[in-house]
Structure 1
Amino acid sequence: MAAIDYIVCEKSDVFIPSHGGNMGHALQGQRAYAGHKKYITPNKRQMLPYFMNASLPESDFNRIVKELHRESLGQPELRTSKGGKDVTKHPVPECMCSDRQQQQQQQQQ
């Protein structure tokens, strides 16, 4: 069942991990390697006050949640240092991009 879950999550348009486990990290890394397919890393601490506010209109809630996650949509991240980054979650995209560009240039020639 875990293999089916992995395949479905990897092939989906958007991936939102429910927690920071190994499978979520592996999928995040796989999606980055595959061209930074969209994933959203939810910020539960920032979202909690809005979940607790039952009087907040749905349109406002949607706008707030989108704004909170604007910077966490699977964009390429350049690493300034290799410390503190899990290689399964952050597979050094700057190196992959350089390799892909070089390969494309060689194929065009």
Structure 2
Amino acid sequence: MAAIDYIISEKSDVFMPSHGRNMGHAIQGHWLYAGHKKYITPTRRLMLPYFLNSSLPEAVFNNIIKELHGESLGQRELRAIKAGRDVTKYVQ
């Protein structure tokens, strides 16, 4: 199942990891190596109130999520010198 998930994620137009673990970092690293594609780094803490509010229309919800993630749409990040950071997530 993980292999199928990886293949589908790698072939997609946009990738949004559900958590910051190895799978998300591997896909981001693969995309950076193969050519820069968009991935969204979710801000789950800011999104939670909107997920809990079921009365929001879908169009309004979509606009809110786009605004929350306007700065996190896969821009390249400069690699900082920090021990323990995953090398597939940052670009030199």
Would you say same fold, with TM above 0.5?
yes
The answer to whether the Cα contact below 8 Å between 1:41 and 1:73 also exists between their aligned partners in 2 is yes
Deviation, 1:68, is: 0.5
Aligned to 2:77: 77
Preserved contact between residue 42 and residue 69 of structure 1 (Cα < 8 Å): yes
Amino acid at match of 1:26: A
Q: C-alpha distance in 1, partners of 2:68/2:34?
A: 25
Q: Secondary structure at the match of 2:45?
A: helix
Count of aligned positions: 91
Within the alignment, does 1:86 sit opposite 2:86 as a pair? yes
CA distance in 2, matches of 1:53, 1:23: 29
Find the structure with the greater CA-based Rg.
1
TM-score (norm 2): 0.83
1:53-82 CA-to-partner distances (Å, cap 9, x unmatched) read 222222211111001011111112233x32
Q: Distance in 1 between matches of 2:57 and 2:32?
A: 34
Query: How far apart are residue 5 of structure 1 and its match?
Result: 2.0
For residues 21-78 of structure 1, the C-alpha deviation after alignment (integer angstroms, 9 at most, x for no partner) is 2111111111122222111121111001111222222221111100101111111223
Q: Matched residues in 2 for 1:6 and 1:60: separation? A: 31
1:9 and 1:27 in contact (8 A); partners too: yes
What do you get for the CA RMSD once the two structures are aligned?
1.7
Distance verdict in 2 for CA 1:2–1:57, change over 3 Å: closer
If each structure's helix is expressed as a fraction of its own residues, which one has the higher value? 1
**Which ranges of structure 2 fall in alignment gaps of 5 or more residues?**
none
Structure number having the greater strand percentage: 2
**TM-score, normalising length from structure 1?**
0.72
Identity of aligned residues (%): 71
